[in-house]
């Protein structure tokens, strides 16, 4: 691939997203002059704006998306010897958050929504299970009414990983508002992004809110009093400024992603070797990732890259088969749907800045690949 064509359809929209940053720089200049660098006005302003947008009582800004999942687990008392049920098909951060509490991730397989297959959930619940962490993968959503019903019958708290599905909805109710708490990431590849790492926990529970605010700031109740053992994972004030600027655009970004996904769905529909995942009725899928299943996927990926289309795979190696996760004792074949997805999935750019001309290039590049085979 040494003579790879110049990029015709780029994957990341970040250069366009932040092409006119003057407003942000102005706010940062103000911050610098104020010296309000930790948990000050920019963080408060961001948290109130996030609460308004999501319709939740409390938003707590933290340092990373991973910490937005770890902290609610810790607030629930999850720790060594415990288990947290989650999906075998996820990004490593979900598992990392569980592992950092000292608990063990217990995986169940996904289905073609890319989310956990709830038919397997009850089998995974044991006396050691202390929480369930559904992952709203790709911008889709887990069947939350059914999941909440199962969790309720077992008396288990639910912490949603909404890192990929901010503003997604199931039956009109937003991702992250079903369980006791949920985490959202503002990593540069997420729906709203900042200039580095940041995350938000949301909850409607007052006691959870209080614990999360302690946990993110060394457990400090006041300047001089430590109430519990916490850590330092405050939302950075500078990132809060960027986050607030992004929040104002978030709804619009979601709408544009959805429009672009529809356009792909129509454009790719008649290609026999491409299978578009079934669209879930009642779900507002915000398409953080636009993924289809493809025959001869590896060859299609190479073809796209040669033609300057930056397609990607989310993710090529099933997490449970990764070297770093050997300790959890899973073996190849344990999660056949996750395995199949790793072989068949391909992701195309679907962001708000993608033009129709670029989408046409993607569709034509795929069409051309199968025509010549």
Q: Which residues bind ligand PLP (CB under 6 A)?
A: 64-66, 90-91, 93-94, 135, 161, 163-164, 185, 187, 199
> What's the closest the beta carbon of residue 93 comes to ligand PLP, in angstroms?
3
Of the two residues 43 and 133, which places its CB atom closer to ligand PLP in the complex? 133
What are the start-end ranges of the E strands in 140-220?
159-161, 169-170, 173-174, 181-185, 199-203
Comparing C-alpha atoms, which of 191, 210, 200, 190 is closest to residue 240? 200
> What's the closest the beta carbon of residue 104 comes to ligand PLP, in angstroms?
18
Of the two residues 46 and 263, which places its CB atom closer to ligand PLP in the complex? 46
Dist CA 59 CA 52 (whole Å): 9
Of the two residues 97 and 241, which places its CB atom closer to ligand PLP in the complex? 97
Of the two residues 95 and 304, which places its CB atom closer to ligand PLP in the complex? 95
Of the two residues 90 and 365, which places its CB atom closer to ligand PLP in the complex? 90
Q: Which residues contact 351 (CB under 8 A, 6 or more apart)?
A: 12, 13, 253, 256, 257, 260
DSSP assignment of 83-103? EEEEESSS-HHHHHHHHHTT-
Enclosing H/E stretch for 308: none
Q: Which strands sit side by side in the sheet containing 104-108, from one edge to the other?
A: 104-108, 83-87, 129-132
> What's the closest the beta carbon of residue 342 comes to ligand PLP, in angstroms?
15
Of the two residues 94 and 129, which places its CB atom closer to ligand PLP in the complex? 94
> What's the closest the beta carbon of residue 82 comes to ligand PLP, in angstroms?
19
What are the start-end ranges of the E strands in the chain?
58-62, 83-87, 104-108, 129-132, 159-161, 169-170, 173-174, 181-185, 199-203, 274-275, 283-284, 290-294, 345-348
> What's the closest the beta carbon of residue 163 comes to ligand PLP, in angstroms?
4
Q: What is the distance, to the nearest Å, from the Cα of residue 261 to the centroid of all Cα atoms in its chain?
A: 17
Of the two residues 237 and 365, which places its CB atom closer to ligand PLP in the complex? 237
> What's the closest the beta carbon of residue 51 comes to ligand PLP, in angstroms?
20
> What's the closest the beta carbon of residue 271 comes to ligand PLP, in angstroms?
28
> What's the closest the beta carbon of residue 323 comes to ligand PLP, in angstroms?
20
DSSP-derived secondary structure letter, 120: G
Is residue 5 classed as helix, strand or coil in its secondary structure? coil
Of the two residues 320 and 369, which places its CB atom closer to ligand PLP in the complex? 320
250-268 vs 356-371: helix crossing angle, rounded to 10 = 30
Q: Which residues contact 315 (CB under 8 A, 6 or more apart)?
A: 91, 342
> What's the closest the beta carbon of residue 277 comes to ligand PLP, in angstroms?
17
Of the two residues 64 and 321, which places its CB atom closer to ligand PLP in the complex? 64
| Closest chain position to ligand PLP (CB) | 65
In this structure, are residues 310 and 290 in contact, taking their beta carbons and an 8 Å threshold? no
Dist CA 235 CA 217 (whole Å): 10
In this structure, are residues 84 and 132 in contact, taking their beta carbons and an 8 Å threshold? yes
DSSP-derived secondary structure letter, 281: T
Record the tokens describing residue 194, joined without a space.
């900042």
> What's the closest the beta carbon of residue 30 comes to ligand PLP, in angstroms?
27
The number of residues making up the chain comes to 373
Of the two residues 185 and 203, which places its CB atom closer to ligand PLP in the complex? 185
């Amino acid at each position: 691939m040494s003579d790879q064509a110049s990029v015709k359809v780029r994957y990341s929209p970040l250069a366009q997203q932040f092409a006119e940053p003057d407003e942000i720089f102005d706010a940062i200049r103000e911050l610098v002059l104020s010296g309000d660098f930790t948990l000050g006005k920019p963080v408060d302003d961001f948290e109130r704006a996030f609460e308004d947008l999501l319709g939740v009582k409390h938003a707590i800004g933290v340092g990373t998306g991973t910490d937005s999942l770890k902290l609610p687990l810790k607030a629930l008392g999850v720790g060594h010897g415990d288990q947290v049920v989650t999906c075998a098909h996820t990004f490593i951060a979900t598992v990392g958050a569980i592992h950092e509490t000292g608990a063990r991730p217990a995986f169940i397989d996904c289905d073609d929504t890319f989310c956990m297959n709830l038919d397997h959930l009850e089998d995974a619940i044991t006396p050691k299970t202390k929480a369930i962490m559904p992952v709203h993968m790709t911008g889709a959503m887990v069947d939350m009414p059914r999941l909440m019903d199962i969790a309720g019958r077992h008396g288990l708290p639910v912490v949603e990983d909404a890192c990929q599905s901010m503003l997604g909805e199931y039956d009109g109710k937003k991702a992250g508002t079903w369980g006791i708490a949920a985490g959202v990431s503002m990593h540069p590849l997420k729906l709203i992004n900042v200039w580095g790492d940041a995350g938000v926990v949301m909850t409607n529970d007052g006691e959870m809110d209080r614990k999360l605010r302690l946990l993110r700031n060394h457990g400090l109740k006041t300047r001089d009093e430590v109430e519990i053992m916490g850590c330092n994972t405050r939302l950075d004030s500078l990132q809060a400024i960027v986050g607030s600027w992004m929040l104002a655009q978030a709804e619009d970004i979601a709408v544009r992603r959805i429009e672009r996904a529809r356009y792909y769905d129509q454009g790719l529909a008649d290609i026999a070797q491409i299978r578009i995942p079934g669209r879930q009725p009642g779900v507002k899928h915000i398409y953080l990732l636009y993924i289809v299943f493809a025959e001869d996927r590896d060859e299609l990926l190479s073809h796209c890259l040669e033609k300057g289309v930056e397609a990607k795979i989310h993710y090529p190696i099933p997490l449970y088969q990764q070297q770093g996760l050997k300790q959890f004792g899973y073996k190849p074949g344990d999660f056949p749907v996750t395995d199949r997805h790793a072989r068949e999935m391909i992701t195309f750019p679907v962001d708000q800045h993608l033009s129709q001309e670029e989408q046409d290039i993607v569709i034509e590049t795929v069409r051309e690949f199968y025509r010549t085979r």
